[in-house]
Structure formats: C-alpha cells, structure tokens
C-alpha cells in the first residue's frame, strides 16, 4: 500500500503485526514510514508456557481502564450520571469528563483512549488466541489460556458496544499488508452474537474457581457473570437470567462458585495492610481489577497506559484538605485530591435513611460546619464527595513513586449484589426468585423487604452501587436517561452512545455516530 495516509487510526496501530505488549502510540506519522520501534516479532514468541502466560497477562492489563489513569471508566461515567458532577479544578479540567457532564462532548473532545485502549486489549487477545495453540505446553493450559483471552476480548468488545455502538469487529491479527483502512463497522447485533458465542464456547475450559496466585483471573463464574450482563444489554432476558442464576445460586447463600455477600457492606471498600490485604478478592468479588503500589509509578508513566494504583482515589479527594486542631476530632485524615465526582444533592437526598449513606458519601459540608476540617471548594462543589474511594493518608504508599499514583485499592468491576439485581431485572422484576434476590441485597444492610418491582430494583441499584460507575449505563439501558439527565443536557437519540474520537475516522470506511 503505497498511498501516504496519516496513520491516525488507533485500530490500525493496535492490530499491526509486530505488536508490542507495551503501550503503542503514533502521532502524525506516515504509513510508509512506520517502523513500529520497540516492538518484537511475534513469530519468534509464544514458544512455551512462560511466554504464553506473559502475553495473556498483557490482555488482562487492559482491565485497568476501569479504574487506572485520569481517563478511567468509573469517574468518567459517574460524571455523566445524575448522581455526580464532573468536579475538578475548573470547568476546563479535562475536556472529556467535563463534556460528558454537560453533554457538550464531541468527536474532538472525546478522549481517544476509550476507543484505543480496548482495541489494544482486543489485539493482544487475538494474538493469544492465534498463537497459544502452537506453544510447547499442555493441551489443558492451551485451552484455558485461549478461553481466558476469548472472555476478555468479549468483555472489551462489550465495553466498546456500550460506549460507541457502531464498531469494527476484528477477530484476527492484521498484517501490515492488509487493507486495515477499510474495515467496516459491524452491526451491533453481529458483535453481540460473536461475543456471546465466544464466551459460551470458552466456559468449559476455564477454572471453576481461583485461589492463590490465580486470584483475579477469569473463572467459569466470572465468565457467566459477564455473559449474563451481555445478554441483559442485548435484551435476551431469559438467557441473562439463566446465566445469573448459575452465578448467584440461592439468594443470600453461597453459590457453586463460592460467591457470597460479605456481611459488612463497608468492607467492600476497605484496604488492608500492604503485605496481606484481607479485603481484596472477597467472597462477593466476581471481576476485580488488581492495583498495587509496587510499580512505584511516577509522572513519567502518566497517560501511557502504565499507571499503577487506583486513580479514582486521588481524583475524588477534596482539594487542600486539612484537619482542624480541635479536641476529639474524629474526621478522617484524607490525602488532598483533585475534587472530581462531587456528589449531587439529588443523590444525597435520595440516600437519606439508608444504612449505606455514610459508606457512600463523605459529608465534608457538615464537618466544615462542625469546625473539624477545611478544604478548598473546587468546580461544581456541593460539599459531598464519593467516600468509597477516598485517598486516606494511612493508604499513602511507603514505596518510591508519586503518592498520587500509587494508591492500591482494588476496583470490583462486577460483584455479587450487582448480579443479584441484574438477575432480578432479567426476571422482569416479578416472582418469588426476584423478590428473594432483592431481599438478600437489602437484608445485608439491615433493611426490611419491599415488594419487588422494576422500580424497586432500579432504586436498589442506585443505592447499592452508587459511585461504582454503573449508573449511567443503567439509565441508558432502561431508557430513563432522557428524563433523568435532561437537566444536564442529555439528548434522546444522540447521547445514548458517544462520539467516535475524530482521529479514528479520516481515510477509513468508518462513519461518525448520529448527531455528532
């Protein structure tokens, strides 16, 4: 291909042969001049179990998109919901997150990483799926590694579907000689069919459960939860309910995969000692993103896809926070943050009387009134902050590296209370099992039973999962976004999906989403 075309396209970069398992970037380069420096020839790799496992780890690494880096999924989509404002230092602090907050986001301000990072993960998964079968290792491990890569690839495609709707479906490694400029966008229904069938085929080859060093890897329970969620968004309710039932077991009990609601709701968001953290990978955790301070991450890594630690922590902390020197001051000792995701008054009022309120919302306004703390109000300040991920000083890393980038709180992307409520939704909010699932979530925090209904399930999801990055997607799935987000500028028929980042489109066969 001799035509000189600007190599803007993240998909093209991600899928070229010679892919490095590190981050890849290329700005304003020409196709004929691409050297792909720093990569290696994958034909010489995948020779044994160690190399295959290393490649598989690189596929898992993209899970950090949920909670790592400034452009993480949680704070971004919290900002678009009715529960949070963007916050931050000013109305210009992060064009993408501010644009989603007030629905002025466009192709130029849409952060490219939400497209490119997931395609990077898909490219890595394709390599594993293609090359692991030829490695010198046991057949059982080959099948398991391939199955894990298939589930992760399906998950990444699902996230792209939820965000952008109209996306290319690429299931093989693309060669430099391929016409990757003219890969069309697939029908969403075709993408759903592919990723659903991939997970179904992968489940028998996965571990039943995980323990020890395997914690955090895809198991049969994880795969079924992801599949159930995909079916739910694909409006295949009986199939979704069936998968969730396998994951959930008897509501309130222990499922076949060992899942069980933790007794204390607040424990879900606690962080233990660096050496042995009892709160990581609890019985409620189904898909958990691991974070550590051992990477000693510094600002040189920032924005390169190598950020360690849970970036949500530093983002949601109040600015210039300090404790007042008063007797018996029981206010938390918070590491000063960047004040993103300030809590709306609507959520604060909605959660009054709920036992989960104090775990979810940090009431800085009251502590200022009580003379216990001070902080600097930033953009869209309400005096309320997301408590689940606050960066407290006792969690400040003791190792080298920037403290802001090395908080080690894990992020639970899917947990059992979530799958309970998704199963109840898939059951139409009716029947004895839906009632039992709703009751179990409420009973865990000491709340009495309420009659099950779709509205009761919606309200419970809002309280139970507040601030965990699910609300925006819930509102869109239910068709409630136009009414709930009207005050923020949400437009029906447009904002249900996001604009494809501009630099992905020139000289390609792709088309921008409607309205952008």
One-character DSSP codes across 270-326: ----SS--TTTT-TTEEEEE---STT---GGGTTTT---S-HHHHHHSPEEEEE---
pLDDT score of 41: 66
Q: Which H or E run includes 197?
A: helix 188-202
Nearest residue to 442 (alpha-carbon basis) of 463, 427, 466, 471? 463
- Kindly state the DSSP code that residue 187 receives in the 8-state scheme: P
Residue with the two structure tokens 């962080």: 271
Residue-wise pLDDT tens digits, 417-451:
999 999 999 999 999 999 999 999 999 999 999 99
Whether the pLDDT of residue 136 is over 90: the answer is yes
| 8 Å CB contact between 407 and 314 | yes
User: pTM (2 decimals)?
Assistant: 0.93
Give residue 61's Cα distance to chain centre.
12
| Residues in Cβ contact with 453 at an 8 Å cutoff, skipping those fewer than 6 apart | 429, 430
Q: Phi and psi at residue 202, in whole multiples of 5°?
A: -80, -30
- Do 260 and 209 meet the contact criterion of CB atoms below 8 Å apart? no
Give SS3 for 384.
strand
Q: What is the distance between the alpha carbons of residues 109 and 429, in angstroms, rounded to a whole number? A: 38
Nearest to 218 by CA among 234, 200, 202, 196: 202
Q: What is the pLDDT of residues 137-149, one digit of tens each?
A: 999 999 999 999 9
Confidence (pLDDT) at 44: 78
Q: Are 72 and 66 in contact (CB under 8 A)?
A: yes
pLDDT tens for residues 366-382? 999 999 999 999 999 99
Calculate the alpha carbon distances from 160 to 156, 204, 232, 283 in Å. 6, 26, 16, 29
Averaged pLDDT, 3-19: 47
Beta carbons of 460 and 435 less than 8 angstroms apart: no
Mean pLDDT in residue range 304-312: 78
Q: What pLDDT, in 10s, does the model give residues 448-485?
A: 999 999 999 999 999 999 999 999 999 999 999 999 99
Tell me which residue of 278, 276, 249 sits closest to 263, measured CA to CA: 278
Instruction: Set out the domains of the chain in order of their start, with CATH numbers.
Output: 10-206+498-504 (1.25.40.890), 299-409 (no CATH), 424-480 (no CATH)
| Mean pLDDT computed over every residue of the chain | 92
**36 pLDDT higher than 70:** no
Answer yes or no: is pLDDT of 250 > 60. Answer: yes
Pick left, alpha or beta for residue 165 (phi over 0 → left; psi -120 to 50 → alpha; otherwise beta). Answer: left
Task: Confirm if 61 and 81 have CB atoms less than 8 A apart.
Answer: no
> Quick check: 42 pLDDT over 80?
no
């Amino acid at each position: 291909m001799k035509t000189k075309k600007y190599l803007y396209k993240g998909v093209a970069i991600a899928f070229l042969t010679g892919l490095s398992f590190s981050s890849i970037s290329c700005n304003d380069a020409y196709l004929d001049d691409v050297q792909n420096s720093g990569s290696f020839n994958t034909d010489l790799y995948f020779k044994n179990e160690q190399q295959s496992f290393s490649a598989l780890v690189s596929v898992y690494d993209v899970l950090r998109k949920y909670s790592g880096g400034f452009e993480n999924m949680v704070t971004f989509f919290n900002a678009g919901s009715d529960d949070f404002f963007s916050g931050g230092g000013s109305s210009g602090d992060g064009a993408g997150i501010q644009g989603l907050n007030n629905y002025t986001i466009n192709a130029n301000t849409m952060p490219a990483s939400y497209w490119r990072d997931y395609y990077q993960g898909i490219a890595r998964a394709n390599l594993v799926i293609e090359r692991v079968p030829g490695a010198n290792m046991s057949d059982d491990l080959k099948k398991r590694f391939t199955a894990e890569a298939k589930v992760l690839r399906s998950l990444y495609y699902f996230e792209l579907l939820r965000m952008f709707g109209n996306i290319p479906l690429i299931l093989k490694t693309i060669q430099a000689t391929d016409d990757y400029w003219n890969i069309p966008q697939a029908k969403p229904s075709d993408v759903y069919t592919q990723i659903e069938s991939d997970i179904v085929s992968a489940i028998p080859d996965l571990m039943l459960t995980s323990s020890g060093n395997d914690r955090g890897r895809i198991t049969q329970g994880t795969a079924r939860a992801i599949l159930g969620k995909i079916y739910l968004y694909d409006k295949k309710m009986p199939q979704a309910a069936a998968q969730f039932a396998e994951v959930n077991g008897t509501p309130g009990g222990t499922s076949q995969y060992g899942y069980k609601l933790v007794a204390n709701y607040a424990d879900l968001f606690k962080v233990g000692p660096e050496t042995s953290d009892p709160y990581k990978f609890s019985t409620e955790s189904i898909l958990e993103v691991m974070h550590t301070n051992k990477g000693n991450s510094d600002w040189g890594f920032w924005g390169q896809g190598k950020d360690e630690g849970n970036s949500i922590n530093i983002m949601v902390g109040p600015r210039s926070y300090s404790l007042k020197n008063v007797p018996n001051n029981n206010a938390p000792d918070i590491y000063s943050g960047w004040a993103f995701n300030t809590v709306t008054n609507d959520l604060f009022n909605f959660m009054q009387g709920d036992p989960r309120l104090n775990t979810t919302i940090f009431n800085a306004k009251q502590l200022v009134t009580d003379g216990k703390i001070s902080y600097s109000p930033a953009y869209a300040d309400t005096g309320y902050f997301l408590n689940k991920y606050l960066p407290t000083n006792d969690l400040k890393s003791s190792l080298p590296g920037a403290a802001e980038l090395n908080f080690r709180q894990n992020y639970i992307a899917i947990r059992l209370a979530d799958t309970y409520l998704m199963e109840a939704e898939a059951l139409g909010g009716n029947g004895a099992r839906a009632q039992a699932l709703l009751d179990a979530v409420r009973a865990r925090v000491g709340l009495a039973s309420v009659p099950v209904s779709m509205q009761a399930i919606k309200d419970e999801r809002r309280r139970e999962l507040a601030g965990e990055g699910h609300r925006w997607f819930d509102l869109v799935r239910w068709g409630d976004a136009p009414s709930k987000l009207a005050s923020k500028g949400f437009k029906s028929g447009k904002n249900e999906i996001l604009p494809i980042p501009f630099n992905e489109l020139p000289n390609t066969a792709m088309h921008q989403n409607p309205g952008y």
